[in-house]
Chain A
């Protein structure tokens, strides 16, 4: 069997959907962060697959930058989560309800 672009896109779509479901369903901020990374990597997979189809390197260069941005995002998010954990001893987003209205 030959692996085609459609297969990559299906995998990317599934990864993206799994990540999105996780972000919506899970309550632990760290797990949400992992799901977000999953979504970004789904997009990266799609980019690389398309890059292969078009025989064009731009897509892969794009992925380099996307990975860097994702790493920066993960670092910032972890830092904020740790800061909040020190305050409240919890990383459950459901308990973050100081502001209402």
Chain B
């Protein structure tokens, strides 16, 4: 563990170099060519993902930077997911940047730095690098959300996001300080060791630190009651940024929650955290899904839907925490979260690709009513949007259905293992919310197919790259749904590397 081991961090190093190259290339390229930097970024992200696929799989976790950096199967898996999502974001940004055009170089530089932060988040192994990496992601998103300063909504979204985001950072840092205070260590394994031989009086300090830290992470993943920023930021931020945000902030937050629970806290806080997280999960589910129903703006709808999905993912977190009590194996919770994140990222990306492609031709229209008659204006776009929305709603046999199924069944299993009947109630709440969420997704689908397009509506034209990206996402959603076997195996294999 006590070595620099630089080659392990090759993807991150490559990303930093890429960011600087893009930044400087912005200075030398002529203005009308700068949006092409997006293709450089997409190509570089693809190359990194390919590298991650061909590099020999990590058996045992490997460490770099004197133990600050941990590369295991989970980290590699998340980096592949982040990288692929980054390719999609770059593809949908090129056109957007070209249209809204200034500061193309800055935009892609910040996208690259956000990606660097996400890669680091997947690999953090101590409290300090956790804070710094997560803040790298969040700071980049602050700038991206407010990127269209000329647009009043974007600026407003930026201010709201940065106030809440910085508040979350303060909570995280405060919590981290108390965890350090209780244990005297910052490296995850050392903190774990210190917790196991923790003296009784230090226990409240640790609990306070852990809860405060989880509050901070709750902001990032958009769980109730720390969700207030989500709808406004989703609506106000540029659409490609919203897509990136829905993946980056949420997935990065959940990666860290899983890391903290499995690598650091373990069994120690299970008793106290289980009811707390279960309550949060239930509130998040209800709030996200009920508040989504009256929405009229599709981006805002996706914001509330994102809160709802944070609720589902929290079900898996509750399962982990509950099963840790008494040292039971908590595998099903983790693998359900992994499977769900994988499915969610690409489904969500498909929806946002659709929204970007739609508003590119139809003008900046984001009302759900504008999607009326899309089935006639562009059958392909309508089909992909429908498949993605149905998957988000959890209609079998699409990816989202099995994701939700595994999460809910992990809670049921946890209830049996931990002997806690309340968890069955939580599982039931999860199931009820699947039905509730179907309503508002189906409302959008109804508008797409059952309504007539407006009189003067033109067909929606899709560029070739967007078409390919949409096709890939849709194929993934359907394939994960129909042949989940290999993907479940993959999630289980990833799980084996976590401990």
Contact = CB atoms under 8 A, between A and B. Distances in A.
Contacts of A76: 139, 142-143, 162
A80 B142 contact: yes
5 contacts: A77-B166, A80-B142, A80-B143, A99-B235, A101-B296
B354 interface: no
A56 B69 CA distance: 21
Interface in B127-168: 127-128, 131-132, 135, 139, 142-143, 146, 149-150, 152-153, 155-160, 162-163, 166-167
A101 B170 contact: no
A64 to B, nearest CB: 9
Contacts of B131: 62, 65-66, 69
Nearest to A40: B170
Contacts of B157: 99
A83 B170 contact: no
A54 B177 CA distance: 12
A27 to B, nearest CB: 11
Contacts of A53: 181, 184
Nearest to A16: B174
Given A43-B173, A46-B178, A98 B152 contact: yes
Nearest to B150: A87
B180 A80 contact: no
A93 B174 contact: no
Contacts of B236: 98-99
Contacts of A83: 146, 149, 155, 158
Query: From DSSP, what is the main secondary structure of chain B's interface residues?
Result: helix
A32 B163 contact: yes
A84 B155 contact: yes
B146 A80 contact: yes
Interface residues of B, number: 44
A86 B159 CA distance: 13
B156 A98 contact: yes
Contacts of B181: 46, 49-50, 53-54
B186 A62 contact: yes
B231 interface: yes
B159 A84 contact: yes
A61 interface: yes
Contacts of A73: 135, 139, 142, 162, 166, 169
Interface string A53-97: 110101101100110010011001100110110111000010010
Nearest to B166: A36
B153 A98 contact: yes
The 3 closest A-B pairs by CB, nearest first: A50-B181, A39-B170, A54-B184
B409 interface: no
Contacts of A39: 167, 170, 174
Given A83-B155, A99-B235, 11 more contacts: A29-B163, A40-B173, A43-B170, A59-B186, A65-B128, A69-B135, A69-B139, A77-B162, A80-B142, A84-B156, A87-B155
A51 B231 CA distance: 40
Nearest to A50: B181
A56 B184 contact: yes
Nearest to A5: B181
B485 interface: no
Contacts of B143: 76, 80
B159 A93 contact: yes
